[in-house]
Amino acid sequence: MSSLYVHIPFCKSRCPYCDFAFYVGQTHLAERYTEAVIREFQTRLPCMGDHPVFDTVFFGGGTPSEIPPDSLNRILDKVRTRSGVSPEAEISAEANPDDRVRFAQMAAMGINRLSLGVQALDNSTLRALGRRHTPADAGAAVDAARRAGFENLNIDLIFSAPRQTTTAWRGTLDRTVGLSPEHVSVYGLTVEPGTAFDRRMKKNRLPLPPEDAQAEMYEIAQEKLCAAGYNQYEVSNFAQPGFACRHNMACWDRRPYLGIGLSAHSFFGERRTWNIRPLMAYIGSVESSGAAVEGEEVISPGERRVEQVMLGLRRANGIPESLLGTIGRSTTLIPDHLLERREGRVRLTGRGLLLADLVCAKLVRSCFEITGEFTSESEKAAVMRREGRAAPTGRPTRI
Ligand code: SF4
């Protein structure tokens, strides 16, 4: 099984919390960027072996719906003709609600899963998050997607926004359930370095809800979505039966994926590569050499286990107990009711899900460092880097 990720870095405006790789006001470069992506795909394809047939394709960003659907179609066409896309493939694209006039074309080209950046369904939270659309736009986007024929919709939501109350969050969840998407992703706001929110927080001008309210919002999401028939299959992800995101599952299972476009990561044969991030540097590199890989790392056996633990524990069925080694069997996290052991597997409890990043970091440290299973200083450094990526508050974060 192989997966393909295509990064489309264009956005209409800059959301104050966002640190993804994106550009505003640069869509005049969309055509040149599309050509670069197609060329990079052809150059990089051999690293995935002989003509892989992709089971999942994911257009992420940025905002894929910000560029003409014909550009996405040309990329998909090249993937189909140069390699292959399985007839049952999940082909996802992220989209903003105000791009709904493009949904019919996106469906017609074979995109069969639409992920809508809704974030909230009340005006004050949307304004606080700097979003351009209204709750009515979000509803109209869902209607437009259904009319276009999409039978697999995701709605992205954010909690812990500035001044957001639990009452407003309950309203957003109720209205989301009323829209009946097949999948809901729920992310706690994290204030990333270098963002507008980061600058406001440093000036004490970012009125985030208190930590106990943030934890309550996460628990409210779990209660409401599970009561409405969604399964929580990962810390931040809820799906109706049969609609878990196959692309994300493949990445979490550490199956091979090719990432093209600026800043995209690829993973194959225990090797991870990442692309140049600046837009013009990416385009220039592909135009001159066919590729834009900036760096790569080879994953050691110790790091592989760390990744398996950290990615696996965030999922509902957890990990085989054997992955933790001997120390894992006596971990103090089980008496703390953060982890539970069942039928040879270890998984996060409801409380553990709330503190997933902290639990993973603590577990990895106790299971690998104490047992001396690291074989080199670089492996230790890799784990510390991963711990550094964990949200200090333990709130759920986007992978
Ligand atoms: S949150 Fe999405 S729409 Fe907003 S700037 Fe980031 S990538 Fe663009």
Residue 371 has pLDDT above 60, yes or no: no
Residue whose Cα lies nearest atom 4 of ligand 1: it is 15
Distance CA 125, CA 123 (A): 6
Say how many Å lie between the CA of residue 251 and the centre of ligand 1: 22
Q: What is the pLDDT of residues 118-166, one digit of tens each?
A: 999 999 999 999 999 999 999 999 999 999 999 999 999 999 999 999 9
Residue 394 has pLDDT above 60, yes or no: no
CA of 213 from ligand 1 middle (Å) equals 25
The pLDDT tens digits for 239-270 are: 999 999 999 999 999 999 999 999 999 999 99
- Tell me which of 386 and 197 has the higher pLDDT: 197
Mean pLDDT lowest among 96-100, 321-325, 350-354, 387-391: 387-391
So what's the pLDDT on residue 383? Answer: 44
| Nearest alpha-carbon partner for 225 in 161, 176, 164 | 176
The pLDDT of residue 397 is above 50? no
Q: Which of 354, 298, 308, 350 is nearest to 328 (CA)?
A: 308
Does 148 sit in the ligand 1 pocket, CB within 6 Å? no
* Ligand 1, atom 7: closest residue by C-alpha: 62
Ligand 1 center from residue 14 Cα (angstroms) = 6
Q: What is the whole-number distance in angstroms between the Cα of residue 40 and the centre of ligand 1?
A: 24
- As given in the structure block, the two tokens for residue 220 are 């409210």
Query: Ligand 1 atom 6: the closest Cα is on which residue?
Result: 18
Say if ligand 1 is within 6 A of residue 9 CB: no
Any ligand 1 atom below 6 A from CB of 22: yes
Amino acid 330: pLDDT: 54
Q: What is the pLDDT of residue 100?
A: 97
Cα 123 to middle of ligand 1, angstroms: 18
Q: Round the average pLDDT of the chain to a whole number and report it.
A: 89
The reported pTM is 0.91
List Cβ neighbours of 18 (8 Å cut-off, separation of 6 or more).
Answer: 192, 195
Residue 279 near residue 26 (C-beta atoms within 8 A):
yes
Q: What are phi and psi of 66, to 5 degrees?
A: -80, -20
Question: d(Cα 33, Cα 9) in Å, to the nearest integer?
Answer: 9
> Average of pLDDT values for 73-84?
96
My answer on whether omega of the bond before 325 falls inside 30° of 0, hence cis, is no
**117 close to ligand 1 (CB < 6 Angstrom):** yes
Q: Is the pLDDT of residue 30 over 50?
A: yes
Burial group, residue 27, by CB count within 10 angstroms (0-12, 13-18, 19+): middle
Task: Using most ligand atoms within 8 A of CB, pick from 10, 13, 15, 191 the residue to mutate for ligand 1.
Answer: 15
The domain limits of the chain are 2-251, 301-389
Q: What is the pLDDT of residue 372?
A: 54
Atom of ligand 1 nearest to the CA of 94: 2
Q: What is the pLDDT at residue 389?
A: 32
Q: CATH second-level architecture of 2-251?
A: Alpha-Beta Barrel (3.20)
Q: Is 20 in the pocket of ligand 1 (CB under 6 A)?
A: yes
Is the C-beta atom of 62 inside 6 A of ligand 1?
Answer: yes
| Selected residue with higher pLDDT from 377 and 44 | 44
- Please state, in angstroms and rounded to a whole number, the distance separating the CA atoms of residues 391 and 355: 9
Handedness of CA 215, 220, 221, 227 (dihedral sign): positive
Cβ atoms of 290 and 362 within 8 Å: the answer is no
